Amino acid sequence: DAVWLAKQGIRVTATDGSAAMVREAKAKAETEGVSDKVAAIQFSLQEVFSGQRSVVSGQPVADSHQPSAISSQPTVDENAVNDQSSISNLQSPVLHSPFFILHSPFFGVFSNFGGLNTINQWRDLAESLARLIKPGGKAVLVPMGPICPWEIGWYLLHGRPKIAFRRFGVASAQIGDATIPIWYPSAKQLKADFAPWFKYLET
């Protein structure tokens, strides 16, 4: 995603909680000839709203003369637009995060590959993202939702009802040596959590 966005002329700060994935992103950007437009950093979604390093957890780059975006990769459910006229008077722990070495706010945020499923503080994330995105900028969110018919059917046919319906509760995932909780927000849930700061566009 970061490489594709860069090829469209967008300067990208690509983030991931995994150091290995960050190295992979840097290598791909170099191979595709867009390393000058992609800054890959190790930085998790938890850090965006907490300002603290996480257990499973790069340097942001922004150019005031070029469109910029954060591409978070750690499913397409919702697009939102920052509906605030001013973000300068808001306070948040995110002000102490590495993102605030930026020269200017981002033009947009794109989260893919289940990054949003590694947190359940979506409202806190929305508030923090509103401070990072220029007024009128967009947030494109792609979480894994709670309903996946083929997954439910497959596991039920194989006699594993607990796994079939795991998305309706809190699941877990192994990332390296760490086991982390996984949540499955619906588009309705994300829409409600982002509503105070973002105007919903479409699902």
* Residue environment code for 178-197, b if the CB has 16+ CB neighbours within 10 A, otherwise e: eebebbbbbbebbbebbeeb
Which residue, 113, 26, 18, is CA-closest to 61?
Answer: 26
Residue 175, CA atoms < 13 Å, CB-side half-sphere = 20
- The sign of the dihedral angle between the CA atoms of 45, 50, 51, 53 is negative
pLDDT tens, residue by residue, 99-156: 444 445 788 999 988 889 999 999 999 998 998 898 899 999 999 999 999 999 999 9
In the chain, helix, strand, coil percent, each to 5? 35, 25, 40
* % of the chain beyond a pLDDT of 90: 49
- Statement: the pTM of the whole predicted model exceeds 0.85: no
As given in the structure block, the two tokens for residue 28 are 């791909």
Residue-level pLDDT at 198: 94
Q: Quick one: which of 46, 119, 111, 129 has its CA closest to 75?
A: 111
What is the set of domains in the chain, with CATH numbers? 2-145+185-202 (3.40.50), 147-183 (no CATH)
As a whole number of angstroms, the distance between CA 165 and CA 147 comes to 9
* Contact of 145 with 158, CB cutoff 8 Å: no
Q: In the predicted model, is pLDDT for residue 40 greater than 60?
A: yes
